[in-house]
Amino acid sequence: MSEFKKNGIGKILPVLFGFFVMGFCDVVGISTSYIKIDFNLSETMAGFIPTMVFFWFLLLSVPTAILMNRIGRKRSVQLSNVVTIIGMMIPFFSYNIVTCMIAFALLGIGNTILQVSLNPLLTNVVKGERLTSSLTAGQVVKAVSSFCGPFIAAFAAYYFGTWKALFPIFAGITIISSLWLAFTHLPEEKRDITVSGSAANIKNTFSLLKDPALLLLFLGIVAVVGVDVGTNTLAPKLLMERCSMDVETAGYGSSVYFLCRTIGAFIGAVLLMKMSEKRYFKIHISLAVITALVLFFVSSKPVILILLGLLGYSISTVFPIIYSMALRRSPDKANEISGLLITGVVGGAIVPPMMGFFADLTGSQVGSLIVISFFILYLASLAFWNKKVKRT
């Protein structure tokens, strides 16, 4: 609260609202279910739809960090908004598998730029020990956006006759976010206008992974995003398979997941001011391991929904914890570390195709659960091997 008073809530709120736009990438979960039905895709092929969103984090995160050093964090965020607005309008005007892939690719490009630049932009107005809780507050806003996605899709399908009406709604929200930020004066960060996007600079950024702790944390980002996107994609499919639900109703499984993730992020933003982030990490990832294990054996709709909610709650704060731990290792290289870590969001591109392949291989969503459980176990190992991630 002291940071809010010092910097002014008027400077912090437009930055936090940007996290709502960041949450739009999670609409790919329910969108995959709709597109799979509309175009009669296999599980493996449908698994590549999220890849079109998250693949760009691998290619563009580090170049975006280098560009951000030249043009600044605020301008980088505004660039992401422009790309997102264009991407959101395409499937509404032309709906086929090609335009869907293009739209999700633009959504991914815009989201890559946003995630690389928005987290460091928050450090322009929030400093010190409050950073973890402030980043978690941003994740609360992002989770609210993710939670709203399936409801907006159902609302659009009911009132406008097509779920695709959610895209211009998202475009409008992005415009509001862009204008709010444009008319807000924020403290400027120091920039290196001599930095270019050369191969040498990109190589220097990736050379940060020579630090074993940063490497472990980077893989942690890959894992937690993979679990998040994977569970978002799995939730409606699991309910359709085990409970014979239709796609509109099954989509609420994703909303339950995101609702509980939102609650978990909100609680985490408060508790992380008082509790050790490493202890918090251990407790929550242990809950995630138990939840994933039980999901293998249940077929009751209420129980599945409860477990999806517990999984969302348990991993809600893992991303900001890992992100904050990494930033604090080298605060003077915040832009480069941000670009490097956001590259790890490519986990959202890796996991869904793996899930689709194993689901087709096993003939059920048990295959998808195996993949998600593997990445949860890595996060558990990272939490309990915390001596490896202490600052040296």
Can you spell out the DSSP letters for 60-78?
HHHHHHHHHHHH-HHHHHH
User: Which residue would you say has higher pLDDT here, 292 or 72?
Assistant: 292
| pLDDT score at 190 | 60
Asked if 117 and 68 count as a contact pair (C-beta separation under 8 A), the reply is yes
Average pLDDT value for the chain: 83
Over residues 19-74, the pLDDT tens digits come to 999 988 877 777 887 888 888 888 778 878 888 888 888 888 888 888 888 888 88
Q: What's the average model confidence in pLDDT over 362-385?
A: 91
- Determine contact, residues 88/103, Cβ cutoff 8 Å: yes
CA gap 266, 277 in Å, rounded:
15
pLDDT at residue 290 greater than cutoff 80: yes
Percent of the chain with pLDDT over 70: 91
**Those residues with Cβ within 8 angstroms of residue 379's Cβ, 6 or more apart along the chain or in another chain:** 220, 223, 224, 227, 285, 288, 315, 318
227 vs 380: CA distance, rounded Å? 12
pLDDT at 84 over 60: yes
User: Does residue 374 register a pLDDT over 90?
Assistant: yes
Q: What is the pLDDT of residue 113?
A: 92
* DSSP conformation class of 387: G
Q: 199 pLDDT exceeds 80?
A: no
In the prediction, which pLDDT does 3 show?
46
Spacing of C-alpha 244 from chain mean position:
29
Phi/psi region, residue 243 (left: phi>0; alpha: psi -120 to 50; beta: rest), is alpha
Question: Which pLDDT value is given to residue 267?
Answer: 87
Q: Could you tell me the pLDDT band of residue 191, with boundaries at 50, 70 and 90?
A: low
Which pLDDT band holds residue 273 (cuts at 50, 70, 90)? confident
pLDDT value of position 389: 45
pLDDT attached to residue 304 = 94
Position 175 scores a pLDDT of 95
What are 201-241's pLDDT values in tens digits? 677 778 888 888 888 999 999 999 999 989 988 888 899 88
Q: How far is CA 178 from the centre of its chain?
A: 20
Domains of the chain, residue spans: 2-184+198-389
Residue 318: name the closest of 272, 253, 252 by CA: 272
- Is the pLDDT confidence value at 131 over 70? no
Res. 128 pLDDT band, cuts 50 70 90: low
Identify whether the C-beta of residue 205 lies closer than 8 Å to the C-beta of residue 66: yes
Instruction: Report the pLDDT averaged over residues 283-307.
Output: 94
- Residue 38 CB contacts under 8 Å (≥ 6 apart), including other chains: none
Q: What is the CATH code for 2-184+198-389?
A: 1.20.1250.20
